[in-house]
Structure 1
Amino acid sequence: MAVFSEKPIKTLLLHLALIAAVIATLFPLFWMVSVSLMSSAEANRFPPPLLPAAPTLEHYRMLFSRLNLAAYLLNSTLIATSVTVLSLLLNSMAGYAFAKLRFKGRDRLFRLLLASMVIPAQVAMLPLFLMLKEMGLVNTYGGVIVPGMASIFGIFLIRQYALSIPDSLLDAARIDGAGEFRIYRTLVLPLCKPILVTLAIFTFMGTWNDFMWPLIILTDNDLYTLPVALANLLGEHVQDAELMMAGSVLTVLPVILLFLVLQKYYIEGLVLGSVKE
């Protein structure tokens, strides 16, 4: 009897552990939304209330009417969308080339790219800033967009996925007279759709949430992205927890919605992208 009762107990414990993990993960998000709907100073009570006594949208209205958050939201949307589109284009071309095109030094160059991934991004910020300064891109959208147009991780991700494309399919297209760009556009891109969506989510989320680089490269308040603007807002309204939580909700909401809409392709891309060479 003990043998038969162990499995249900283990299953129950596993489910309880999963439920606890879900609660621990979602509670900060729930608390953030709840506080954003509270009236001023309500969250500063002890003990703090779990739910707002009288839900209000006054803090959201204040963000858009008095603090011009709509402009920062538009800046973040423009930058994140531009980086994502350009990143998909350049990374997909490079990933396909490393996976399927034969050229001298291909494997050595790819290994060199992988080795450079161990270099912390902070180390490259100073030389990158000096390069962009010489190009006249400091305090411009281009200064934020250009460094994110291609990434070693994106190239690696697409290369690993493109390895699963049959060589016979590409050779048949070449025999029919198709050029490499046409093969890339009509065959490779549709077949790589799941991993492209996965990379798009990674890139958009990373760019949208990026704080350090926009803070370094942008000096004009009108060009600030949402995370940088909220950091400045914290200095001015450090005691207004409800207002800060409302700004945090507006920052987090777009990436959550993006993930929920594209999660099917995201999971499929991660699973199929684990192809071994």
Structure 2
Amino acid sequence: MTSKVKSTFIYIFLGIVTVVSVFPLLWMIIAATNKSVDVIAGKLTFGTYIAENYQNLIAQQPLWSSFLNSCKYTILVTAFALIVSSLAGYAFEIYRDKAKEKIYVVVLMSMMIPFVALMVPLFRMYSKLGLLNSAVGFMLPSLATPLLIMMFRTNAKAFPIDIIEAARIDGLSEFGIFLRMYIPSMKSIFAAAGVVTFMNAWNNYLWAKVIMSDNTTQTMPMLISNLISGYVTDYGMLMLAVLITTIPTAIVFFALQKYFVEGITGSVK
């Protein structure tokens, strides 16, 4: 009886936590279908104003060009970050020596430096290199992050050294070992790192605001910021923009949810 009561309280607690967690998302969807005055009034039922909110949104902001910019920048950052960080993590674990261990310590120490402290020197450097308002300028700071390198190195510890030695004896090149053996066995960590990188790149506002000064290079977080910078905020239109911005990250996360959990917990098949 005690175990049943305990289980009941656990399920009640989990139910409350679930409602609290899901309610903001549900409220965002409801708000996107209502007028601004209804959102301010706290209306919690679906409205019929979503088409008007959409028309107002595309009339005020370049919605789909901003959406395509975010897609382009995020996909490029995710693809190149996975390549660079996986190569670095693999090399740090498989090819060990004292010099590389010292470099790895420096890489981990760089996690203690907030990115805000680096923005001004990065902006000046990229300005001199002519990388403002470019995908390259947006991508470079995110290509080799200490977190991703640490994730790949930690998971590379489970990669059998005996297999590498056997592959070398059979004449397989080092890059061939990485491409044909390491990557297929590390699908879960690639998925987890891809989800983390995709979400960080998609939601990147501060660096995009610094490096992208042209309206043609505007991203979705910048578009949302522009919607709340005026004297009067249309909350229905704003929530619709937030909803559209949320959809890609939700799709990526739910599509790779299984592999994401395996990668975070260090599962290697």
**TM-score range with shorter-chain normalisation?**
over 0.9
**Counterpart of 2:2 in structure 1: which amino acid?**
E
Structure 2 segments unaligned to the other structure (5+ residues):
none
Q: Does 2:7 correspond to 1:23?
A: no
What is aligned with 1:143? 137
Q: Deviations over 1:92-134 (max 9, x none)?
A: 1001001111345121211121122111111111221122122
Q: Tell me the SS of whatever aligns to 1:102.
A: coil
Work out the CA distance in 2 between the residues paired with 1:137 and 1:15. 53
Q: Deviations over 1:132-164 (max 9, x none)?
A: 122111222221111111111111000000110
Work out the CA distance in 2 between the residues paired with 1:265 and 1:183. 22
| Count of aligned pairs | 268
8 Å Cα contact 2:70-2:202 kept in structure 1 = yes
202-211 vs 137-146, which deviates more? 137-146
Q: Deviations over 1:161-191 (max 9, x none)?
A: 0110000000000000111111111011111
**Counterpart of 2:8 in structure 1: which amino acid?**
L
Q: Tell me the SS of whatever aligns to 2:139.
A: helix
193-202 vs 136-145, which deviates more? 136-145
**Counterpart of 1:158 in structure 2: which amino acid?**
F
Match of 2:125 among 115, 124, 131: 131
* TM-score for both structures, normalised by structure 1: 0.92
Match of 2:240 among 246, 254, 267: 246
What is aligned with 1:58? 52
Structure 1 segments unaligned to the other structure (5+ residues):
none
**Counterpart of 2:82 in structure 1: which amino acid?**
L
Q: Cα 1:268–1:237, aligned 2, differ >3 Å: closer, same or farther? A: farther
Q: Does 2:193 correspond to 1:227?
A: no
Q: Tell me the SS of whatever aligns to 1:57.
A: helix
**RMSD of aligned residue pairs (Cα, Å):** 1.6
Q: Cα 1:143–1:53, aligned 2, differ >3 Å: closer, same or farther? A: closer
What is aligned with 1:114? 108
What is aligned with 1:12? 8
Work out the CA distance in 1 between the residues paired with 2:231 and 2:61. 11
What is aligned with 1:215? 209
4+ residue runs over 4 A deviation: none
Match of 2:30 among 27, 34, 50: 34
How far apart are 1:49 and its partner, in Å?
A: 1.6
8 Å Cα contact 2:61-2:223 kept in structure 1 = no
**Counterpart of 2:75 in structure 1: which amino acid?**
T
Q: Does 2:50 correspond to 1:86?
A: no
Work out the CA distance in 1 between the residues paired with 2:58 and 2:3. 55
Work out the CA distance in 2 between the residues paired with 1:52 and 1:184. 52
Q: Deviations over 1:70-109 (max 9, x none)?
A: 0000000000000000001000100100111134512121
Q: Deviations over 1:50-74 (max 9, x none)?
A: 1134463321243335522000000
Work out the CA distance in 1 between the residues paired with 2:119 and 2:48. 46
Match of 1:195 among 146, 167, 189: 189
Work out the CA distance in 2 between the residues paired with 1:22 and 1:243. 27
What is aligned with 1:181? 175
Identical-pair percentage: 31
Match of 2:263 among 259, 262, 269: 269
How far apart are 1:39 and its partner, in Å?
A: 3.4
Q: Tell me the SS of whatever aligns to 2:50.
A: coil
**Counterpart of 1:267 in structure 2: which amino acid?**
V
What is aligned with 2:158? 164
Work out the CA distance in 2 between the residues paired with 1:64 and 1:215. 21
Q: Tell me the SS of whatever aligns to 2:256.
A: helix
How far apart are 1:40 and its partner, in Å?
A: 4.7
75-84 vs 7-16, which deviates more? 7-16
**Counterpart of 2:58 in structure 1: which amino acid?**
F
